Amino acid sequence: MFGFPGWLEITIILGIILLLFGKRLPGVMNSLGRSIVEFKKGSQEGADDEEDSSRIPSQDSKQDKPPG
């Protein structure tokens, strides 16, 4: 009975949204783009920190070696 809306219904819904939020839409999209960029930067920094910590030898391995 109730299925996925067709292209006509989606077009009407998008038109109503555009009429209601038309003036604020550029600001919302701008802030959304900035937040995506910040999220990517944060996830990249987290991956870099993880790689750096895996390269540092643990102190336990230094203690296991006999002095030489």
- Position 29 in a domain: yes
Taking the complete model, does pTM exceed 0.75, yes or no? no
- Position 42 in a domain: yes
CA–CA distance, 14 with 6 (Å, rounded to integer): 12
- Position 17 in a domain: no
Segments forming the whole domain that contains residue 34 = 25-49
Taken in order 58, 59, 61, 62, the sign of the CA dihedral is positive
Q: Is the pLDDT of residue 52 over 80?
A: no
- Position 43 in a domain: yes
CA–CA distance, 29 with 34 (Å, rounded to integer): 9
- Position 63 in a domain: no
- Position 56 in a domain: no
**pLDDT tens-digit series, residues 16-51:** 988 988 888 888 889 999 999 999 998 888 777 766
The count of domains in the chain is: 1
Q: Enter the tokens of residue 59.
A: 């102190």
- Position 19 in a domain: no
